[in-house]
């Protein structure tokens, strides 16, 4: 299983958002963010394999960049920044999205 996964749901329509581009970035020790993975949500709105299951995370700041431009002109992009303190854990970060709002949480 990928150490980082996501699930995107359309709160207005009450269904998953399929084919949504998602980029995973990590901030390096020297400061700038760098892309470490990219994917698209499946028909169920999920990305289960963003990173290979044997990929070892490092501690530090990460972010998921969701390209929501096809679903909202007001929020064309959503950034979820999070901190990895224990790389042995799984990080599931769902996004509940609508054209004028969004929320997220750490899932299981």
Residue 29 has pLDDT above 90, yes or no: no
Cα Rg for the chain, rounded, in angstroms? 13
pTM: 0.94
pLDDT computed for residue 28 by the predictor: 87
Tell me how far apart the alpha carbons of residues 102 and 14 are, in angstroms, rounded to a whole number.
Answer: 13
Kindly list the distances between the CA atom of residue 5 and the CA atoms of 34, 39, 74, 89, in Å, as whole numbers in the listed order.
18, 10, 25, 12
Assign domain 4-104 to its CATH architecture.
Answer: Sandwich (2.60)
**Residue 17 — very low, low, confident or very high, per pLDDT cuts 50/70/90?**
very high
């Amino acid at each position: 299983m990928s150490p980082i996964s996501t699930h995107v749901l359309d709160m207005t329509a009450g269904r998953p958002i399929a084919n949504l581009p998602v980029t995973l970035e990590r901030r390096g020790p020297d400061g700038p963010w760098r892309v470490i993975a990219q994917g698209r949500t499946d028909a169920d709105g999920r990305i289960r394999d963003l990173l290979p299951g044997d990929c070892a995370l490092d501690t530090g700041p990460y972010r998921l960049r969701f390209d929501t431009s096809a679903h909202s002109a007001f929020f064309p992009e959503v950034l979820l920044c999070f901190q990895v303190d224990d790389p042995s854990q799984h990080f599931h970060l769902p996004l509940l999205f609508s054209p004028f709002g969004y929320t997220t949480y750490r899932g299981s």
